[in-house]
Structure 1
Amino acid sequence: MHLRRVASLAYIRRVVLTVLPLGLLTMAALVLRHELSELRGGQLLGALKSIPAHRVLLGLACAACNYLALTLYDVLALRHLGRRLPYRQVGFASFVGYAFGHNIGMSFLTGGGVRYRLYAARGLSALDVAQVGTFNALTFWAGLLAVAGVALMVDAGRGAMALLHLSPGWARLLGGALLGVLALYFVLCARVRRPLRVRRLALEVSLPTPRQAVEQLVVSFMDWMLAAMVLWVLLPPGGRVSLATMVALFAVAQLAGLASQVPGGLGVFDSIILAALTPRMPPALVLGILLVYRVIYYLLPFMVAMSMLAAHELLLRRGRRSQRWAPVEQRRREA
């Protein structure tokens, strides 16, 4: 009986994980179709041209600072594991891992695979890399809970949540609940010192100390704020919402994008932003801003990361080839 219940729960879980992304993508497609039904190519081109160069440069600066903050995730994780590496190695592996994970999807696997390829040469095992990924996930969610909770409390349904038809009372309640979950995490970090076992992954994870949890919160909070600012600085002054409103809206859209399991939340994230901002701005302008945002935050870092990884692999092969031929050259000289 117990085995049947476990099997049925596993089946339900697989169905939910399969249906949820499809449902979210379907709703996103319907919203995008409704919002863009009267949009013409000329309108989109005009919207792209209307974004001043200085706002694009500000977006690039925020994206660069954001990816710099993302490298600190691995710094904290490796320090927690007691594995200290030079920042140039950690920053390289972290940046490439996050750029690949953001664009390809399944970040734990894709980003983890890239990290394993780069960290293995530094003496880290597959288990170490898995622990880094788990610690980074905790850091990510700690920051999300803090940013979304504070933004919802400050926004209180007046901005982004009003656009999404969430009343001030429900906005404060949701924000308080998120901050409550974060407080519970800090309590667990302070009291639980035994490693937590993830049996399905044959993985043991030890919770960070309270000091490390605070460091997680600071780094992740900074990451989320900078990521939201990449989009916020692209908005025109006349239609710009407050930063708190944008952070709340950005967090909700990212959560929906994560649930869709689509790389970068493509379509789902955009439909929520589009639906929320079109009362203030023309759909063509919002779509143009979202297009520029994706180029700045996803495409450009991905291209840089691919180039860096390709250059790394090329130099690595050249080094191995030179080591392979060194004894031959030495024998020739001796002869």
Structure 2
Amino acid sequence: MITTRRRRATLVALVCAALALPLAAPASAAPTVPSRALVAPAKAAPASLTTAASDVQAAPLATARARSSMKLTSYEKLASTHKRTYVKVRVTNGKGQRLSLQRYSKGKWRTVTKTRAPRAVGAKTVKIRVPKKAGSFKYRVVMSKSSANKRIVSKKVRVFQSDYAKHKRYIAKARAHMKRWCPDTPIFVDTPNVRAGEWAAGMAWTRWSFTGSKASWKQTIELRSGLTGASLKHIAIHECAHIVQARPIVKGITTYEKSEARTDKIFRKGAAEPHEQQADCMAYAKTRDKSQMVYTKSCSGKRLKNAKGMWKSYGTKYQKPNLTWAWRY
């Protein structure tokens, strides 16, 4: 069985998402420092000398009072063993504390990477490399105890690393079937999503976000191992079709909504969700093999015309899996 997850959003939802994000990061509050009157000498002095004395005495005091903190801010849920992947933490008022990346394995948290927090006032981002390890594991970051903080343990996150060495040839076969339309979309094999309950053979994801006047997306494909011949060909193209379905949004929200409306209208009949039926037809348009179709066996007339039209209009456009563009209506 094939299944796909995509983020779909209406015009209202997209606008709300854009408006909900700040156009600029809020300014951080300045550290509290003693009043100049407290450090001014008894006798009047030139303003420049008074200012210098105040600055010299205030800065160390503010630094000494600052507390250190650490928060895990981002990570890659899906990664591959042939590429580097990182978790990022935000350290505030670091004092060189030890930062330990830990992996949960065999019932224990084990340190796999160590680094140091920066010695700096304010917030800084630290990248910590996740060592190559095929499979799905929980990770966390621990900041050591210091004069400015107690021991801090971050939230737990799960990172899956696809075994590239094991599945290299399999990925190459899948890529060969879709390379004209999805030449660079990352393919991850045997992810938790497609292995859970053995109910999914493939998934495709488009995750987009909006910040100010800019939009961006990240697209990925997940496949189960063991598919062969016509089955692998159909499923690979089917999942690529889901990637293509999202591409109209680059032209604008109005274009995307019109594309969605056509899909819902043309593929409204049938038990399966319209986008799954459309993806099946898009795969059939390239393979001409109905034996592998799961969501619909009806792919002629307006349906086939629509499927071919999607490939023609968007199959070779906007192919970057990590794309940023100026969003518009």
| TM-score normalised by the chain length of structure 2 | 0.23
More helix by share: 1
Name the structure where strand makes up a greater proportion of residues: 2
| Greater relative CO (CA pairs within 8 A, separation 6+) | 1
TM-score when normalising by structure 1: 0.22
Larger Rg: 2
